[in-house]
């Protein structure tokens, strides 16, 4: 019978992801009509996702497929062959790493498949050897439309004693530019023999997972973030206050000059006379001795 990849469960991390064994379900991507991905050396290829995928609160429509056994979101450049243990913080990569190692994908096959009936996008590395090493590894990632992630291992218990089962590999998920403080990663193994054949693990996001709805890299206050208005990309802790009547930098204060003391619809920072409701930008000028339109000139 199919077995699960790891005896243990893990998490939650700071965002709320957990992991647990799941049923092994290898997809023959080539037979299912998938598309080949051309990667070699340490290169990557950008793949369009069939739907927006949420990873640690950010929404992505594309993913970069690395020759070195991982997926990356959002960032330019490449992952690189030198696998690093998680967590990686303060960097610029968001990683899904089923088998991050120094691989030679040009001597194997890498495939992608939009498996719409099952609500998943599959990336598969098939018979890919390690650089200057023995054995050929086969594994795949399933990204689900509900934000879940699965790693499936067909053949990873191969190679030399120091590479078999993930002995030279990073396995896990990581967000190096977290929207929340704390450890935003789950590592199942790093340079340790933890993988076995015909097994699988599922990473599950928290129920009601928080999103960065306005795409300004700040999560809503309601879920532990620091964005006081997650419907406005111009409002977040890193923003500069402008004359709009909003708490632009989320410091809890709206500058006094953004008040509208005379209730004429214009804030004091641009109103030429915030004590006179008949004076504001764009108001028709009349012969009343006031600068009605705030152009610094009186009628007559």
Instruction: For residue range 184-199, list pLDDT tens digits in order.
Output: 999 999 999 999 999 9
Residues 206-225: what's their mean pLDDT?
A: 87
Q: Where is average pLDDT lowest: 2-16, 41-55, 224-238?
A: 2-16
Residue 20 to residue 49: CA distance in whole angstroms = 25
Q: In the predicted model, is pLDDT for residue 54 greater than 90?
A: yes
CB 232 within 8 A of CB 214: yes
Q: In the predicted model, is pLDDT for residue 43 greater than 60?
A: yes
pLDDT of residue 12: 96
**With b meaning 16 or more CB within 10 Å and e meaning fewer, what string describes 131-155?**
eebebbbbbbbbbbbebbbbbbbbe
Residues 212-227: what's their mean pLDDT?
A: 88
CB 60 within 8 A of CB 44: no
Quick one: pLDDT band at residue 181, thresholds 50, 70, 90?
Answer: confident
Q: In the predicted model, is pLDDT for residue 1 greater than 50?
A: no
Residues 236-256: what's their mean pLDDT?
A: 94
Q: In the predicted model, is pLDDT for residue 271 greater than 60?
A: yes
Per-residue pLDDT of 87-142, as tens digits, reads: 987 665 789 999 999 999 889 999 999 999 999 999 999 999 998 777 899 999 99
**More reliable by pLDDT, 300 or 135:** 135
CA pseudo-torsion sign 151, 155, 159, 162: positive
DSSP string, the chain: ----S-S--B---SS--EEEE-------TTTTT-EE----TT-EEEEEEEEEEEETTEEEEEEEEETTTEEEES-SS---SS--PSP--SSS-EEEEEEES-B-GGGSEEEEEEEGGGTEEEEEEEEEEBTT-S-EEEEEEEEETTS-EEEEEEE-S-SSTTTGGGTT-EEEEEESS-SSSS--EEEEEESS----SSEEEEEEPPTT----TTSSS--BGGGT--BS-TT-TT-STTPPP-SSSS-TT-SS---GGG--TT-SSS-TTT-S-TT-TT--TTPPP-SSSS-TTSSS----
Residues 1-8: what's their mean pLDDT?
A: 47
DSSP string, 63-80: EEEETTTEEEES-SS---
pLDDT of residue 128: 95
pLDDT of residue 251: 95
pLDDT of residue 92: 58
pLDDT of residue 106: 86
CA distances from 149 to 18, 21, 22, 78, 117 (A): 10, 12, 11, 21, 16
pLDDT of residue 5: 44
pLDDT of residue 4: 41
Q: Where is average pLDDT lowest: 64-68, 143-147, 296-300?
A: 296-300
197 CB-side CA count, 13 A: 10
pLDDT of residue 26: 98
pLDDT of residue 246: 95
């Amino acid at each position: 019978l199919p077995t699960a990849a790891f005896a243990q469960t893990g998490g939650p991390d700071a965002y709320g992801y957990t992991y647990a064994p799941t049923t092994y379900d290898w997809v023959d991507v080539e037979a299912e009509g998938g598309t080949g991905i051309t990667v070699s050396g340490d290169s990557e290829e950008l793949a369009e996702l069939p739907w927006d995928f949420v990873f640690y609160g950010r929404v992505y429509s594309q993913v970069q497929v690395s020759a070195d056994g991982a997926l990356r979101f959002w960032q330019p450049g490449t992952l690189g062959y030198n696998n690093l243990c998680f967590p990686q913080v303060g960097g610029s990569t968001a990683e899904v790493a089923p088998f991050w190692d120094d691989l030679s994908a040009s001597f194997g096959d890498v495939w992608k498949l939009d498996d719409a009936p099952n609500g998943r996008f599959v990336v598969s590395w098939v018979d890919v050897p390690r650089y200057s090493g023995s054995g050929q590894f086969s594994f795949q990632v399933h990204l689900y439309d509900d934000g879940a992630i699965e790693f499936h291992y067909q053949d990873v218990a191969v190679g030399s004693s120091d590479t078999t089962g993930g002995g030279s590999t990073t396995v896990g998920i990581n967000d190096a530019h977290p929207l929340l403080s704390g450890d935003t990663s789950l590592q199942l193994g790093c340079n340790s023999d933890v993988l076995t054949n015909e097994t699988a693990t599922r990473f599950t996001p928290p129920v009601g997972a928080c999103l960065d709805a306005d795409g300004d890299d700040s999560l809503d206050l309601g879920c532990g973030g620091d964005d006081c208005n997650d419907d406005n990309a111009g409002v977040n802790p890193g923003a500069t206050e402008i004359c709009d009547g909003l708490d632009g930098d989320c410091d809890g204060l709206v500058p006094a000059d953004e008040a509208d003391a005379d209730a004429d619809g214009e804030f004091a920072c641009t109103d030429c006379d915030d004590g006179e409701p008949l004076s504001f930008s764009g108001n028709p000028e009349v012969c009343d001795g006031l600068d009605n339109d705030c152009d610094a000139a009186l009628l007559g």
